[in-house]
Amino acid sequence: MTAPTHPAGQNDAVRTGAMDIGYAAMLEQFAPTEAVALAAYAEQHGFTGVMAADHFQPWVPAQGEASFVWSVLAAIGERTTGDFGPGVTTPSFRMHPAVVAQASATLATMYPGRHWLGVGSGEAVNEHVVGAYWPEAADRINRMFEAVEVISKLFTASIAGRDAKHSGPNFTLESSRLWTMPEVAPQILVATSGPVTAKRAGRVADGLITVGAPVDKVAGLLARFAEGARASGRDGSAMPKVLRLHLSWAETDEQAMANALREWPNGGMRFSKSDIRSPFEFEQLARMVRAEDFDGRMVISADPDVHRAAIQKYVDLGFDRIYLHNVGRNQREWIHEFGRSVLPKLVR
């Protein structure tokens, strides 16, 4: 499988550097048409791709949205020219892996070389809505990796013009294929925040997705991913390593902090959030979040250079693509400012 490519002529003035900095379209916060417009605006200001969040519900009611990611991704494909994919979808509860494979293959056929498939083990706020038993984390991770196996089987068999089948502890696939399939399958990127999952992803996935965390922790994840890749006879350094980074920028430090507390209190919750089922439960927990809870978890500053320095640390770790999410509603102001003063200064 080949890495997503950028068509000739796309943002030529800003494509001279090697680092790809994309825009994180948070569909929990923005209506679908607005999210698409913001993605296009970001590309005009030097952002090179889009990672769109897959949510059935927002984290907290104040965020206010949760559109269907596959519809939005298709619209983003029409309005932009860079790479794009879900960050991340869960091919396990709301959608069978075969349906996720079909959705991904269709986008990859429509937009050759641009679409990648990011998958994760899921959170209850999105997945419990179908009424199934909500398993423990280890079981969810096992389901995710079995789903990756099913999707990979379908991609491989369909490209070869034959049927695939699967019978496992969590999923069954009767003999079938994807009749709409690109010549090159989308890369499957597995989301991880723990070392065991990172190593396992290195063995079976095409690449890794993780979220911003202390640099030493993230470095450990990348090392375990590379270890898993070596165990499967592959070079981890040549495989995509992708980061989504939350931040808060505004014209003043006080406004940046107010945006974080109001719009993204889940970023200050220092505990696992995967078992919480309702945005209204999150809202109750958000009342306990204080400014200091963001320390070490998210950069909150009015100074673009403070953000640049923080992002550069992750660039230096060897990430291939970083997708930025400014948590406030001031998206256009932030995109304009970072396109001018941050993105051009990030170097490998």
In whole angstroms, give the CA distance from residue 229 to residue 180: 30
CB 315 within 8 A of CB 322: yes
CB 231 within 8 A of CB 215: no
Amino acid at 103: A
Q: Are strands 172-176 and 164-167 parallel, antiparallel or unpaired?
A: antiparallel
- Options 28, 43, 45, 55, the catalytic residue: 55
Name residues whose C-beta falls within 8 Å of residue 88's C-beta, 6 or more positions apart in sequence. Answer: 54, 118, 119, 120, 189, 191, 209
In whole angstroms, give the CA distance from residue 137 to residue 247: 27
Beta pairing partners, 176: 164
Which residue, among 202, 183, 184, 185, has the nearest Cα to 194 in the 3D structure?
202
Amino acid at 38: L
128 labelled catalytic: no
Per-residue exposure over 208-232, b if at least 16 CB sit within 10 Å of its own CB, e if not: bbbbbbeeeebbebbebbbebbeee
55 labelled catalytic: yes
In whole angstroms, give the CA distance from residue 253 to residue 285: 24
Beta pairing partners, 248: 300
CB 206 within 8 A of CB 189: yes
**Residue 174: HSE in the Cβ half-sphere, 13 Å Cα cutoff:** 0
Place of tokens 């400012």: 337
- Options 28, 45, 115, 123, the catalytic residue: 123
State whether the Cα torsion 179-78-115-119 is positive or negative.
negative
Q: How many CB atoms lie within 10 A of CB 134?
A: 16
In whole angstroms, give the CA distance from residue 116 to residue 5: 11
Active-site amino acid positions? 55, 123
